[in-house]
Structure 1
Amino acid sequence: MNSLTTRQKKALETREKLLKTSLDLFNKHGFEHVSVEQITKACNVSKGTFYTHFPSKYDVILEKFKELDNFYSTVEKSIDGNMPASEKILLLYREQMLYLTNIVGKDLLRTVYTAAMTNQVKKDHYLISPQRKIFQILNTYIEEGIKLGEFRKDLQATQMQTIIKRCMRANVYDWLIHNEDFDLVAEMAHFTAVVLNGMKVEATDEVT
């Protein structure tokens, strides 16, 4: 593998500086109150340099946030394929909540959620994109649960997907607006387990 040239190394350093500076400014002043000009001035680079690395200031957040998808792929490989689908979903969410709590943190997530609610973000923003790795994994588990008779068949897979995704966003939002006594991992486990139980086939339903 060829080593990076001096120019390539410089470009990577500039990109990382833009990323870090942008996130620091967003956390300090709020996403909607920070302009690309402020970011570039703080980094002592031109606007053209910024747009070479990031199409928009929201893409700065997404670049950091997308690191989660690599984590989800790792989690998926570690989950026992013989587990019931509902337990796989609970384990996936548990690992996600631990990562958000210990690695991502409230500051960045607040920025992501705030930015998603501004008119500077497209309607089909990354938070709800079906292309996200976690949603693809989730969909696989739901379809598996329906096929194997664990989940009810009177609910469409897409309906179940929507409900379970909302479990995630609702709990994360509550975590962001509560004090430190809100245990995101525990609350997510309890809330999602209750929802999943409502989607399972009742014992009486299995009798034909």
Structure 2
Amino acid sequence: MSEERSLNFIEHIIEDDLKANYSKEDLRFRFPPEPNGYLHIGHASAICLNFGLGLRYNAPVNLRFDDTNPAKEEQEFVDAIKRDISWLGFKWANECYASDYFQQLYDWAVQLIKDGKAYVDSQTSEAIAEQKGTPNTPGTESPFRNRPVEENLELFEKMKNGDVTEGMHVLRAKIDMASPNMLMRDPVMYRVLHKSHHRTKNDWHIYPMYDWAH
């Protein structure tokens, strides 16, 4: 007689949600690679986990490319990733890209600026890192944290249009520089990159950071 397989921690979470009346028909899974290289054995493990959950719960699995860094990403890697997933025997329901909603992310960022919840910081990346503080000490606010909204909007527009050099400005969320979670200490949302994107070509000169795109 075969032994019953124990659940992994993700399956435990899913089962708890289903017991709490979450609809099984609403379950969705995804595999979200960045197309900046070829897959390795660790990726294969993640693919089997994510698509395996889809098979177990009869739910769709989306292939979602995190294509937010044109300096390292290429169409060649997109194609290779798709071939490898197919070779492993899996099929995705929808093929999605972060670049599909670059405009939406930008519009949301503009709204945050208007609401006083984001600002353009003109410091170097080194200065920003130094001001983060430590897990035991609060960070230091940027001298540009309280820039007027209109100035922030003007600078962000210049960033978008490619009128500033890389590293001159970044857009940061205005959250809490004393937060015990250091990731919440005014994280960078956008940086300037004058690189051609494999899908959007030269439409954009600013690209969302990983945390903002997710």
Structure 1 and Structure 2 fold alike (TM over 0.5):
no
TM-score, normalised via structure 1 length: 0.32
Q: Which has the higher contact order (CA 8 A, sep 6+)?
A: 1
